[in-house]
Structure 1
Amino acid sequence: MPKTVLITGASSGLGAEMARQFAALGYDLALCARRTERLQELRDEILNQSAGRRIEIRALDVTDDAAVFRVFADFAADFGTLDRIVINAGLGKGAPLGTGRYDANRETAMTNFVAALAQTEAAMEIFRAQNSGHLVMISSMSAMRGMPKTLTTYAATKAGVAHLAEGLRMELADSPIKVSTIYPGYIASEMNERIKKKPAFMVSTRDGVSAIVAAIEKEKPAARVPGWPWAPLGAVMRNAPLGIVRRLV
């Protein structure tokens, strides 16, 4: 029987590419996002490439708490068992603190942390009832340290979700439920396509997601991806004096 993976924020970027790659590995898919027309296009595309896969789609605004619990429960009812849930939906807005854009920073905080908390609660209700499952939290390399300017709030939210996952991993160490935190580096996606100057070490969506999926498949507790240069660079970012980190970012 094929395993099933639920992916939030699956209509574009990393979420859509994860759906493609998990389908190629033989998974059935539970895909949700706000833009159902994009989900329908993605479903058609995947079925053309991976005939025989089962793909269920649902509209979901992750900032609607009630909808999160309802959609996750409906997917669980659809498939009977959800083997893996990837909390991927996120937002990249942000502005330097105190510059009049609290609205943008609040939206990022609500989407990336509060909504991720709701998704984690909904996922864990399912996994505790099953006594099995694999929770995957998509964080960011920016979670390694506090970040300046437009990244300050974003980095704080990604550090927050990483701590949610780590707390669960500590609690569930001796249980059948696994928890992974993925820290992507610079991966091309719709979230960063408007950046004029591309950062060093940026990789394509396909290559970046291939590294993410490989780490997820191994059920790594935590992974900085792609491994080069982010595994060693992450150690520097986490432990170096703040003055050195400033020059890196």
Structure 2
Amino acid sequence: MWPFPRPPVPFEQAVYGSFPFWHRGYDLLGRSPDCRDPWIRAMKETCQRLGERPRGAAPPAGVVSRWLADGTWMVLHPFSPGSDDVGRPDAVAFHAVFLDADSGRRAGYRPMRLAPAFREDFGPGDGVLAPGSITLPRPGAPLVPDDPRADTVAEALLHGRRALVESGGPIDRLAEQVWERLPVRHRHRRSLATWAFADAGLFDLIGLPRLSGIDPSDRRLLLVPAGPEGQAAPGEGAEGDAIG
């Protein structure tokens, strides 16, 4: 039993997207007072590079993690607020939290631990957001069942390769297990998108609905094709580049 509770980890926050309650297209809904303009620009660029949802793909979800030029750690959650400002059903919004170096270190550079900080219930009154904080749980038992792909994906990231995982939905659990296998110095500065619709070369680990259009001979990439129930299929892809 730990004698004292952990102090909360503070963060700034912002919300960007298209919402049914306004007519501004995709724009910034709100941010906390100390949320800097370069962070907002990086947030918009990151969101725009996640791609457009193809027909039949799972809706926006998951966690995106990226380190910004000034050392700020941005972790964001894509979600669907319903229809957009002109009634189309595939609107997307993004809630981002921004952590300074000390807060990132206290969070262990584990983006999935920040998931409870995210919201989806934003409205027209959220133009100004308060700074937030999250009390992180102490490390618990290892996740079970263990994903058999996690060791291979972590090894690829340790050797400077990027891992692209074909899946029917967000790869949050696989990503969490991969990050647990990375030493702290490697978790720092690694980028992640557990669910995206296009690979823009921005993320070290990314979950995608399909791997079509990606060069299987690129030795900088580890391609993890989907098999039954979203698991990696043995023997698919280029020799040495796919895992099963």
Question: More strand per residue: 1 or 2?
Answer: 2
TM-score band (shorter)? under 0.3
Choose between structure 1 and 2 for higher RCO, CA contacts under 8 A separated by at least 6 residues: 2
Normalising by structure 2, report the TM-score. 0.25
